Every structure is written in structure tokens, then in C-alpha cells.
């Protein structure tokens, strides 16, 4: 009694988790958030553990957030970037991580452009593996910090209407968010051009909408995704300006929102494309709080996963 | 079912709590203003114990020291060695611990490792003037050089047994049990 059901040495995707496990992470993160608000912003929970941050695909904010979370848990840290790793010399991914394992590393935080890379690693080595983003597949800690922020602001997730706007097709953030929101009882709407938000998504129990106003007018939360310019070059939409006019949240379209709707963005923002500065810096925006909460959520998952090592 | 033997009833526990409260009042009453002295209950059972101690202190002295609650999971020395992690409960210290006289409160003192962790945790919040330790049960079995300043009940039980304190919703509902450690 009193001991919780967390038995995973890895955090690979939100899809794998039971709703109770997601709630447990969010509850645990609440206490870790307080650690960063103290004068002494550090606890000894991971003292003596070594974490490798293995970012095969470049990342600034997620890597920094994980690294700071590890520091605040007193872990020892090694950073490996793709261009400095032996992957460039032709070493296979599994050989690289087996070398990491041979150095008695406890946890690997990995970002990779290939979907499934973290799963492949987790199956083959005894270290704990945390997925920091794999291709268009999953970005579990981003979804967890989004869920945490919504729950903190709205007091609940069940029954809330959450709209995700943008390039859903190529987005691991969207996929992880969709699974997390559905598991915790929220209603999900996806919006954007039909080339980037195919109707197929309806099969998993979400609403697909190609009209911005109808997508956001009764939403409790609007989560905007970064529009990448290379998608225009690949022909998914005619121009960035046209995208901004039809799907951007700006002074005009913000009027469709409920007064207490939250505006979220995983960053980095394309100001003037998916989100105008007046909205990004306005009263509905919780974008910087998402960043703060990301640290707490990553401390929580590192703590929970580390607790399941050596078994 | 593991064998669970009741060692103390509510009457005996209340008497022990009163005795601890009395000793705390004897040490602090008149010398330390109520605002400069506080009880910090360690989750889980240290929290209801601290609540009961505070009401008893109030009855004895008319003064009501502040109450804080502390979770020490982030300060344990056995992460990854247990079957599962303890759930992290809320830490809530509603006052500045700097220059405070604080009394750590826990239900059972055994190895002393929980108290070691609690000392590390508290000192991360500031520099208290002094820290005392109050426990309902001292069951021996110490692994660290830690002792209680106030202990209600000294128990001698087999090393591999577990002493458990249960507090109910009402102040008239509490018991102390001993069970076989492996089966508990």
C-alpha cells in the first residue's frame, strides 16, 4: 500500500501508457515543479546515476530542458550530438548504444529522425530509454508537459475541448498529444489544410476540421504547431501567407476564441505565420509556462524511470 | 494473510502523544514564541501524528505551533533498489524555516534512514535554528547514528518484523501493529 504501479524502465510513447500512469507522472511533476521554485533547486534523487543525452537529430529546447532536469536531480550527464558521434563513421545505432551501455550508463535520452529508434534501443539494452522525439512518431514528454499545463490551468482534462492546428500529418507532438488527451477524456479537434490534416485521423476518435472558425470557437484549448517552410516547397500548401490567412491565429481570428481559452505552442514560434505576436504574447498564451512545466515533467519521468532500473 | 498483531490501542497511543506534547511544551513553552517553532510531519503517518501532537500542545499550553508536511522520496538513498517507488506526496512548508525551531515528526523510528533523508530535505529549504525529532514508536534496529528527542513508546520486536501505526479519520481511532516484514 502506498507504493505505486510504475514498472517501466523506458518512456517510449504516450500510446503505451495507461491513463493512471499518465496521471501519476502529472502528479509527480507537481512536486518536482516546486523544487525549481525553491532557493536550492536541486534534489539528490538521481545521485550516482549517469544519463546520456543522445541527440542524433538536433534539438535546443528539449535537450536543454532534459539536461537541466538531470542537473536538478543530481545525475551525472554526458551529451552526444549526431555530428560528433561514431554514427558518422558508419557505426550502427545499436553498436553505438551498446558502447554506451558498456560504460555502465543508467539512462539514455534519445532523439532520432527515424520513428521507432528508441524502441529498438530499449529492446536491446538494459539502460532505461527516454524518447525525446522520434521522427513523426512520438514526443511523449512534450505531450506530458502540454497535458500538465492544461490540467494546471483548467483543473481537469476530462470533457475539455482541445483543438490542435497545423501540420498534423508530420507532427510527433500532435500524435503524442492526441493519445494523451484521448486517454484522459478530452475531446480532440484537428484543424489545418486537408493536405496536412487528412480525414483518416477521424478513425481514432477525433474531429477533423478544415475551417478555422468552426475548429476554435468552442475550444477550451488551442494548440498551434510550427509550420515548416519546407512543407510549402513540398506542395502541401500554396504559400506561407495563404496558410497564415486561413489557419493563423491573429487579432482577427482570436475573436472567435472563448474568453478563457488557452493558447499553446510547443515552440519555436513562426511569428506571423501560425501565430501572431499579439496572441503569442497576449493574456491567453501559456507558451512560456509550457517551457517551465516541461522541466518539471522531465524531472518526474527521469525519477520514475530511474526507480525501475536494476530489476 | 500475514500475521498482524495489535500491540497498542488508541488509549495507549493518546497517552503517548500527550506525553510527547507535554515534553515539547516543557522545552519550548515560554522560551520560544509559538511563531518561531513548528512541527514538520513526514509523510505518510508523520503528518496525522503531527496534527494530533499540535492539538495536544494547544490543550497543554494554549499555543498552536505551525504545521508543515514533508515528503522525502526525492532524498532517499535506495532509488532503484526497491520494488517500486513510493508515491510522492505533497511537501508543504508554509513558513520560512530559517531561524525556526522545527520538530520533525514521524510515526516509527527504525533504521534512521528516513530521518537522514528528512534532515537533508529540510536543510535544502533553509537553516533552522534547531531541529528536534519526535516519534511515536522507537523500535530500535538503528543503522544510522540518529536518536529521537521525544519518543512515546519504546518497543522491542524481532528485527525482521515491521511495526505499523494506523491513524483513522477521528482522533479516537489509532492502533499500532506488528507484522512479519516479508509478508507485509
> Could you tell me the CATH number of the domain that includes residue A286?
3.40.50.1370
Q: Is A5 part of a structural domain of the chain?
A: no
Q: Are residues A238 and A106 in the same domain?
A: no
CA A132 to chain centre: 8
How far apart, in whole angstroms, are the C-alpha atoms of residue A297 and residue A65?
10
* A61 among known catalytic residues: yes
Q: What is the pLDDT of residue B181?
A: 60
- Option in B80, B90, B125 nearest A306 (CB): B80
Residues A43 and A171 in one domain: no
Instruction: Report the distance separating Cα A298 and Cα A290, nearest Å.
Output: 12
| Alpha-carbon gap: B181 to the closest alpha carbon of chain A (Å) | 14
Domain membership of residue A13 (yes or no) is no
Neighbours of A85 (CB within 10 A): 17
> What are B3-61's pLDDT values in tens digits?
889 999 999 999 999 999 999 999 987 777 767 889 999 999 999 999 999 999 999 99
* A203 plus A301 within the same structural domain: no
Q: Domain for residue A106, yes or no? A: yes
Instruction: Retrieve residue A214's grid coordinates.
Output: 468552426
Residue A89 bears catalytic tag: yes
One pLDDT digit (tens) per residue for chain A, 311 residues: 445 578 899 999 999 999 999 999 999 999 999 999 999 999 999 999 999 999 998 888 999 999 999 999 999 999 998 777 777 788 899 999 999 999 999 999 999 999 999 999 999 999 999 999 999 999 999 999 999 999 999 999 999 999 999 999 999 999 999 999 999 999 999 999 999 999 999 999 999 999 999 999 999 999 999 998 878 888 899 999 999 999 999 999 999 999 999 999 999 999 999 999 999 999 999 999 999 999 999 999 999 999 887 54
What is the grid cell recorded at B111?
533504521
Query: Is residue A172 in a domain?
Result: yes
Contact B112, B142 (CB under 8 A): yes
Contact yes or no for A287/A263 (Cβ under 8 A): yes
Cβ–Cβ < 8 Å for A191, A165: yes
| Pair (A280, A151) in one structural domain | yes
Domain assignment present for residue B84? The answer is: no
B126 Cβ under 8 Å from any chain A Cβ: yes
Number of domains making up chain A: 2
In this structure, the answer to whether residues A80 and A145 fall within a common structural domain is no
Q: Catalytic site residue A210?
A: no
Nearest Cα residue in chain A from B184:
A1
pLDDT reported for residue B2 = 67
**Torsions phi, psi of B157, nearest 5?**
-130, 165
Taking the C-alpha atoms of residue A297 and residue B74, their distance in angstroms, rounded to an integer, is 15
β-pairing, B4-8 vs B174-180, is antiparallel
Please name the residues in contact with A60: beta carbons below 8 A apart, sequence gap of 6 or more. none
Phi first, then psi: what are they for A305, rounded to 5°?
-65, -40
CA A65 to centroid of chain Cα atoms: 11
Q: Which residues contact B68 (CB under 8 A, 6 or more apart)?
A: B38, B39, B40, B41, B92, B93, B94, B95, B102
Residue B58 included in any domain: yes
Cell of B87: 508515491
Q: Is residue B177 part of a domain?
A: no
* B71: closest chain A residue by CA: A31
pLDDT (0 to 100) of residue A179: 98
Candidate from A3, A28, A34 with C-beta closest to B84: A3
Question: Which residue among B71, B81, B85 places its CB closest to the CB of A31?
Answer: B71
Q: Are residues A38 and A132 in the same domain?
A: yes
Residue A1: predicted pLDDT: 40
In which order are the strands placed within the sheet that holds B174-180? B4-8, B174-180, B161-167
User: Does B25 map to a domain?
Assistant: yes
pLDDT, residue B34, reads 66
Contacts of A90 by beta carbon, 8 Å cutoff, 6+ apart: none
pTM, full prediction: 0.92
Residue A262: inside a domain, yes or no? Answer: yes
Asked if residue A66 belongs to a domain, the reply is yes
Is residue B168 over pLDDT 50?
yes
Cell numbers linked to A303? 525519477
> For cell 476530462, what's the residue?
A158
Q: Would residue A7 count as lying in a domain?
A: no
- For cell 514521524, the residue is B106
Is B171 a domain residue? no
Q: Do A4 and B87 touch (CB under 8 A)?
A: yes
Residue A54: alpha-carbon gap to chain centroid = 17
Distance CA(B90)–CA(B69), nearest Å, equals 7
Q: Can you tell me whether residue B101 is helix, strand or coil?
A: strand
**What is residue B160's predicted lDDT score, i.e. its pLDDT?**
87
* Interhelix angle A117-124/A93-102, nearest 10 degrees: 40
DSSP-based three-state secondary structure for B145: coil
Same domain, A240 and A185: yes
Facing residues of B42 across strands? B70
**CA A88 to centroid of chain Cα atoms:** 27
Nearest to A309 among B80, B84, B120 (CB): B80
Choose the mutation target among A307, A309, A310, A311 for the interface with B, i.e. most B CBs under 10 Å.
A307
Question: Residue B31: CB partners within 8 Å, gap ≥ 6?
Answer: none
Q: State whether A167 and A66 are in the same domain.
A: no
Give the domain extent around B147. 10-75+92-156
- Assess whether pLDDT exceeds 50 at residue B184: no
Residue B1, in any domain of the structure = no
31-70 in chain B: CB under 8 A from chain A: 44
Q: How many CB atoms lie within 10 A of CB A244?
A: 19
Q: Which residues pair with B106 in a beta bridge?
A: B135
Q: What do you get for the CA distance between the two ends of chain B, in Å?
A: 9
Q: Is A72 in the active site?
A: no
Residues A104 and A179 in one domain: no
Q: Do B84 and A40 touch (CB under 8 A)?
A: no
CATH, residue B140: 3.40.50.2020
User: Predicted ipTM?
Assistant: 0.85
From residue A63, give the alpha-carbon distance in Å to each of A44, B21, B73.
21, 51, 26
Give φ, ψ of A72 to 5 degrees: -70, -15
Residue B140 to residue B158: CA distance in whole angstroms: 10
The per-residue pLDDT for A2 is 47
| A267 shares a domain with A171 | yes
- A158 as an active site residue: the answer is no
Claim to verify: residue A211 and residue A258 sit in the same structural domain: yes
**Which of B38-52, B59-73, B83-97 shows the lowest per-residue confidence on average (mean pLDDT)?**
B83-97
Chain B partners within 8 Å of A49 (Cβ): 79-80
Structural domain boundaries enclosing A110: 19-138+292-306
CB pairs under 8 A between A and B: 74
List CB contacts (< 8 A) between A310 and chain B: 80-81
- Domain total of chain B: 1
Residues of chain B with Cβ-Cβ distance to A43 below 8 Å are: 74-75, 121, 124
Asked if the Cβ–Cβ distance from A2 to B90 is below 8 Å, we say no
Chain B: residue whose CA lies nearest to A45: B74
Amino acid at each position: 500500500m502506498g507504493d505505486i504501479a510504475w514498472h517501466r524502465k523506458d518512456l517510449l510513447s504516450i500510446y503505451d501508457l495507461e491513463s493512471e500512469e499518465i496521471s501519476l507522472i502529472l502528479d509527480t511533476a507537481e512536486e518536482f515543479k516546486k523544487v525549481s521554485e525553491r532557493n536550492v533547486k536541486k534534489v539528490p534523487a538521481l545521485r550516482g546515476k549517469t544519463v546520456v543525452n543522445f541527440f542524433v537529430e538536433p534539438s535546443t529546447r528539449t535537450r536543454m530542458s532534459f539536461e537541466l532536469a538531470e542537473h536538478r536531480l543530481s545525475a551525472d550527464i554526458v551529451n552526444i550530438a549526431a555530428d560528433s558521434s561514431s554514427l558518422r563513421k558508419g557505426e550502427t545505432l545499436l553498436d553505438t548504444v551498446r558502447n554506451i551501455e558498456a560504460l555502465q550508463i543508467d539512462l539514455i535520452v534519445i532523439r532520432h529522425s527515424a520513428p521507432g529508434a528508441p524502441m529498438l534501443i530499449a529492446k536491446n539494452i538494459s539502460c532505461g530509454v527516454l524518447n525525446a522525439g522520434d521522427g513523426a512518431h512520438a514526443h511523449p514528454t512534450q505531450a506530458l508537459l502540454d497535458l500538465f499545463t492544461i490540467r494546471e490551468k483548467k483543473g481537469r482534462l476530462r470533457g475539455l475541448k482541445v483543438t490542435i492546428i497545423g501540420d498534423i500529418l508530420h507532427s510527433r507532438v500532435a500524435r503524442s498529444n492526441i493519445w494523451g488527451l484521448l486517454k484522459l477524456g478530452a475531446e480532440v479537434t484537428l484543424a489545418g489544410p486537408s493536405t496536412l490534416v487528412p480525414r483518416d485521423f477521424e478513425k481514432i476518435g477525433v474531429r477533423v476540421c478544415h475551417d478555422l472558425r468552426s475548429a476554435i470557437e468552442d475550444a477550451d484549448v488551442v494548440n498551434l504547431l510550427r509550420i515548416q517552410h519546407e512543407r510549402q516547397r513540398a506542395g502541401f500548401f500554396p504559400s506561407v501567407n495563404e496558410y497564415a490567412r486561413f489557419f493563423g491565429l491573429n487579432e482577427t481570428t482570436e475573436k472567435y476564441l472563448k474568453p478563457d481559452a488557452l493558447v499553446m505552442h510547443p515552440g519555436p514560434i513562426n511569428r506571423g505565420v501560425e501565430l501572431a505576436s499579439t496572441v503569442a504574447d497576449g493574456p491567453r498564451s501559456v507558451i512560456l509556462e509550457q517551457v517551465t512545466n516541461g522541466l518539471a515533467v522531465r524531472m518526474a519521468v527521469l525519477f520514475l524511470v530511474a526507480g525501475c532500473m536494476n530489476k | 494473510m500475514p500475521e498482524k498483531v495489535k500491540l497498542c490501542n488508541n488509549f495507549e497511543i493518546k497517552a503517548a502523544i500527550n506525553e510527547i506534547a507535554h515534553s515539547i511544551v516543557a522545552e519550548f513553552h515560554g522560551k520560544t514564541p509559538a511563531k518561531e517553532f513548528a512541527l514538520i510531519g513526514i509523510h505518510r503517518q508523520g503528518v496525522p501524528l503531527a496534527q494530533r501532537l499540535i492539538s495536544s500542545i494547544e490543550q497543554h499550553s494554549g499555543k498552536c505551533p505551525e504545521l508543515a508536511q514533508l515528503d522525502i522520496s526525492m532524498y532517499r538513498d535506495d532509488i532503484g533498489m526497491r520494488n517500486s517507488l513510493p508515491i510522492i506526496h505533497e511537501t508543504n512548508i508554509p513558513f520560512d524555516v530559517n531561524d525556526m525551531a522545527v520538530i520533525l515528526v514521524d510515526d516509527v523510528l527504525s533504521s534512521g534512514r528516513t530521518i537522514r533523508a528528512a534532515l537533508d530535505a529540510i536543510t535544502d529549504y533553509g537553516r533552522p535554528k534547531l531541529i528536534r525529532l519526535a516519534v511515536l514508536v522507537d523500535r530500535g534496529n538503528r543503522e544510522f547514528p540518529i536518536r529521537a528527542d521525544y519518543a512515546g513508546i519504546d518497543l522491542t520486536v524481532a528485527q525482521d518484523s515491521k511495526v505499523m501505526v494506523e491513524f483513522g479519520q477521528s482522533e479516537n481511532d489509532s492502533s499500532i501493529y506488528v507484522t512479519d516484514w516479508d509478508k507485509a
